[in-house]
Structure 1
Amino acid sequence: MKKIILGMSALCMVAFTSCKEDAASKVNSENVAVAAERDANAGDFPVMELDKTVHDFGTIENGTPVETIFKYKNTGNSMLVVSNIKSTCGCTVPSNYTKEVAPGQTGQFTVKFNGKGNGKVSKSLTMTTNTEKGTEIVKITAMVNNPDAANKAAVQKNPVSTTTRTSTKPGHEGHNHD
């Protein structure tokens, strides 16, 4: 039994030592250098610094289109890439955004809001980036003055009744007892 175990051990040792030589000869030193550089830069994300994270349009009339510009600077050491900007609804449209920003440079995008609504309105825009967080969020707000919506709400809250009450006592159907 000992001879079998000793023989298997020797066979395994020969097999493992022969694999090491083959594996080492297959490693491309150029790939090792590229991987080492990649690993050294792995934690070196671009850093996005926004000029503002919230823009308040103040009080606007319902249906008045407004727009603003958000600016951002790459304060990191690698290229900043903005791959997408999405809004929470179709009434807020981001456009003309700078997709690539070199270290130390700035980019920007425009946000157009159609000014629809009533009262305090807040919309978020999500920027998809190659920063460490992966997304950056900015917001726009406005106080939308909508007299039509205010009047409609007042009517719904206090409707004027035009119906006539009738008695539910037997024998008094259809008689008004006001």
Structure 2
Amino acid sequence: MKTLGTLLVVFFISFSINAQEFKFEEETINYGKIDKNSNGERVFVFTNIGDAPLIIKDIQSSCGCTVPKTSGEPVMPGEKGEIKVSYDTNRVGGFSKTISVFSNAKAARKMIKIKGFVNKEISLEKEESILKDN
């Protein structure tokens, strides 16, 4: 009986150590319709809702056209963190990309997404603005 009690205590302690959680403000960012060669950077904001530091171990995108970055610093409980994602807006057409976030959270892998459509040509509104500046 003592052994069972000891095992339960060890299991509970190891489970609570890995009880980090994080919640994204948005799990999908929709770029909408954007112009070719426009700014493709967006930011995912998340909060560590666990009771221990959250460490992002790795971030991988489903395509080389999408580059995710984070500070690499642990995010303390209750604090916010960011993952910056840059999409290559030189690629014309619709896109939907998945970013895998690997961390020490209870769910070790979290999927976030970006989507949108890159217009083939520059919009008239933007072209007029460029002409006025010259």
Per-residue CA deviation, residues 44-97 of structure 1 (Å, 9 max, x unaligned), is 210111111011111112333411111111111122110011111111111233
Aligned twin of 2:35: 61
Letter in 1 for 2:41: E
Bigger helix fraction: 1
CA–CA distance in structure 2, aligned partners of residues 41 and 78 of structure 1: 13
Q: How many residues align?
A: 114
Identity percentage of aligned residues: 25
Residues 99 and 126 (structure 1 numbering): CA distance in 2 closer, same or farther, change over 3 Å? farther
The structure 2 residue matched to 1:113, chosen from 62, 72, 87, is: 87
Q: Which has the higher contact order (CA 8 A, sep 6+)?
A: 2
Q: Which runs of 4+ in 1 moved over 6 A?
A: none
CA contact (8 A) 1:47 1:76 kept: yes
The match for 2:14 among 24, 36, 42 is: 42
2:75 counterpart of 1:75: no
Deviation at 1:104, TM superposition (A): 1.3
Matches within 5 A, 1:88-107: 88-107=62-81
Residue aligning to 1:25: none
Whole-Å separation in 1 of the counterparts to 2:33 and 2:94:
9
TM-score using structure 2 length: 0.74
**1:42 maps to amino acid:** S
- 1:132 is matched with which residue? 106
- Report the AA paired with residue 146 of structure 1: K
- Which segments of 5 or more consecutive residues in structure 1 lack a partner in the other structure? 1-32, 148-178
- Going from structure 1 to structure 2, the CA distance change for 1:83 and 1:37 (only over 3 Å counts) comes to farther
TM-score (ref. length: structure 1):
0.57
- Alignment RMSD, CA only? 2.2
Amino acid at match of 1:40: F
- What SS does the aligned partner of 1:101 have? coil
CA radius of gyration, larger in: 1
